[in-house]
Amino acid sequence: MSECLGLDVGTTTVKAVVIESETGAVVRRATAPNDSEMTSSEDKRAGRSEWDPDRILAVAQQVLSEVGSDTVRAVGVTGQMHGMLLVDGCGRPIGPFIGWQDQRGAEPKPDSNRTLVADLIERLDTSDPAGHVCRPKTGYMGATLSWLLAYDQVPAGSRACFLPDFVSSRLTDTLPVSDPTNAAGSGLYDVAAGQFHPPFAELSESSLLPDVVPSGFRAGELKTSWPDSGLRSGIPVGVASGDNQASFLGSVREPVKTVLINVGTGGQMSVSATTPDAGPGLEARPHVNGAYILVGPGLVGGRTYAWLRDFFLEVGRKVFGVEEDPEAVYDRMTELADLIESGAEGLTAEPLLTGTREDPHRRGRLDGIGTANFTSGHLSRAVLEGIAEQFRILYESALKVGAGRRSILVGAGNGIRKNPVLREIVEQQFEMEMRIPIHTEEAAYGAAMQAMVLCGAKKSLKEAAEIIRYE
């Protein structure tokens, strides 16, 4: 039996799955909480997000040891594509991993009132009018690295890298390298040119930015100092890929025909594309197969529904003096929404509570409130319909830039799996029946698919995708 392993290193959990290459069955899986955060309370108030890299490696070794076997032929790695850490000339960490929630990039430049991230965006708006460089946000490598440089916090001889690239390098005892899927998450990488944007070339020339190699490239062989993993030393380990792309790979069997809706804490609409040109609200990201994915990221999702739940919880506490179980309130909201007919009797919600990429100051709205529809069930239904509508708007934006109409709708993430009402509403918006992968660890599954190609168990990612099965 041929097996391949996928490792997904996130900031909430670290997951590993072992897949049987011929059937696609998940034969072993393990998950452990990522308990490596070391941010003090004071630093959290200052907007910091710092994590212990050595502890992250220990958690990774823990999950590997739970699924490892000498039958595993190769390891694929994915993980959190935003954030960064510095390593020395031997690939060892210098200081913490600085996570995607870190806000130091929003601080002013020394002797200036302008923030570092605003300065980066202004430079890109001038030099990249086509939008082929994903605009940096706080927590991206570009913003955080700019802060470290501005405040003289970069030791001589150090190099920046992404978290999953660091893990892959420690598995193989090599220096970290990146692939385009992770590099694009830096806010410095031109996805059309396949290189770091020329205005930031000074960082690359100084060897501060990571080298970028093709997706699926072999990082090295598993080193002998990981004996407790249960894996044979010497098996190939792949260069890490971004978790968004790995999740798309692990969810979608027919990319050209499929639109993917992934709902977790956030939410994303994704379709494959042949060019890096994106429409309003979309980002063009490199895919592991050498093409692109048009992604509508993060404006609505599970946290949108959570904000409505928190409103109901507050009413319970402050109006009625009762405390309710948050999960029970979720379930009740969904039950009540299911009792309301489509359209919520004229109540509509635009749940853009934190703005849009084009207008971050924009806020959500409720329309059509009347005496018959101002109920908890109608509110729940209207918010779910508003979430689904935002996904459809992003899909239509992709169609306008030539992505091509899709005939298959795939759903992923707990926000879809655990909310049948949202699933039904998305199906209505897209006028397609939704397919959901039978495996729940989509990103780790995609990493394992890359491992299959790396070791020769599959000839291509297209062949590897044939193993994906839906409920």
Q: Is the pLDDT of residue 210 over 70?
A: yes
For residues 372-392, give the mean pLDDT: 97
pLDDT in tens, 140-176: 999 999 999 999 999 999 999 999 999 999 999 999 9
The Cα 418–Cα 435 span in angstroms is 14
Give the model's pLDDT for residue 245.
96
Q: What is the pLDDT of residue 204?
A: 56
**Mean pLDDT of the region 366-392:** 97
97 and 115 within one domain: yes
Is residue 135 within 8 Å of 124, Cβ to Cβ?
yes
Distance CA 112, CA 59 (A): 41
Residue 50, beta-bridge partner list: 98
Average pLDDT of the chain is 93
322 plus 375 within the same structural domain: yes
Q: List for the chain the helix, strand, coil content (%; round to 5).
A: 40, 20, 40
Q: What is the model's pLDDT at position 38? A: 97
Evaluate whether 446 touches 252 at the Cβ level (below 8 Å).
Answer: no
Residue 225 has a pLDDT of: 78
Query: Do residues 463 and 364 both lie within one domain?
Result: no
Tell me, yes or no, whether 239 and 268 share the same domain. Answer: no
Q: Which residues pair with 317 in a beta bridge?
A: none
What mean pLDDT comes out for the span 71-89? 96
What's the per-residue H, E or C state across the chain? CCEEEEEEECCCEEEEEEEECCCCCEEEEEEEECCCECCCHHHHHCCCCEECHHHHHHHHHHHHHHHCCCCEEEEEEEECCCCEEEECCCCCEEEEEECCCCCHHHCECCCCCCEHHHHHHHHHHHHCCCCCECCCCCCCHHHHHHHHHHCCCCCCCCEEECHHHHHHHHHHCCCCCECHHHHHHHCCEECCCCEECHHHHHHHHCCCCCCECCCCCEEEECCCCCHHHCCCCCCEEECCEEHHHHHHHHHCCCHHHEEEEEECCCEEEEEEECCCCCCCCCEEEECCCCCEEEEEECCCCHHHHHHHHHHHHHHHHHCCCCCCCHHHHHHHHHHHHHCCCCCHHHCEEECCCCCCCCCCCCCCEEECCCCCCCCHHHHHHHHHHHHHHHHHHHHHHHHHCCCCCCCEEEEECHHHHCCHHHHHHHHHHHCCCEECECCCCHHHHHHHHHHHHHHCCCCCHHHHHHHCCEC
Q: pLDDT at position 354, please?
A: 78
Based on the fold, state whether residues 153 and 259 are members of the same structural domain: no
Q: Is the pLDDT of residue 334 over 60?
A: yes
Mean pLDDT of 406-411: 98
Residue 98 belongs to domain with CATH number? 3.30.420.40
Helix (H, G, I), strand (E, B) or coil at 133: strand
Give pLDDT tens digits for 291-323: 999 999 867 888 899 999 999 999 999 999 999
Q: What average pLDDT does range 269-289 have in this prediction?
A: 91
- Considering the domain architecture, whether residues 406 and 447 belong to the same structural domain is answered as no
Mean of pLDDT values over 355-362 = 72
Q: pLDDT (tens digit, 9 = 90+) per residue, 2-36?
A: 899 999 999 999 999 999 999 999 999 999 999 99
200, 188 contact by CB (below 8 A): yes
What's the whole-number mean pLDDT along residues 369-387? 97
The tokens for 357 are 């990429």
What's the confidence (pLDDT) of residue 371? 95
Whether residues 54 and 8 fall in one domain: yes
d(CA 435, CA 438): 9
Read off the pLDDT of residues 116-137 as tens digits, 9 standing for 90 and up: 888 888 889 899 988 899 888 8
pLDDT at 358 exceeding the cut of 90: no
Pairing of strands 241-242, 72-79: parallel
Q: Could you tell me if 188 and 53 lie in one domain?
A: yes
Distance CA(187)–CA(415), nearest Å, equals 28
Task: Indicate if the pLDDT at residue 370 is higher than 70.
Answer: yes
pLDDT at residue 361, as a whole number: 76
Do you know the residue count of the chain?
471
How many domains does the chain divide into?
A: 2
Domain enclosing residue 358, as ranges:
253-436
* Inter-residue contact 418 to 53 (CB < 8 Å): no
**Are both 342 and 394 inside the same structural domain?**
yes
Looking only at the bridges linking them, the beta strands covering 13-20 and 3-9 are: antiparallel
Instruction: Say if residue 52 is in the same domain as residue 182.
Output: yes
Q: Is the pLDDT of residue 359 over 80?
A: no
Report pLDDT for 202.
61
Q: Do 14 and 162 lie in a common domain?
A: yes
Same domain, 228 and 359: no
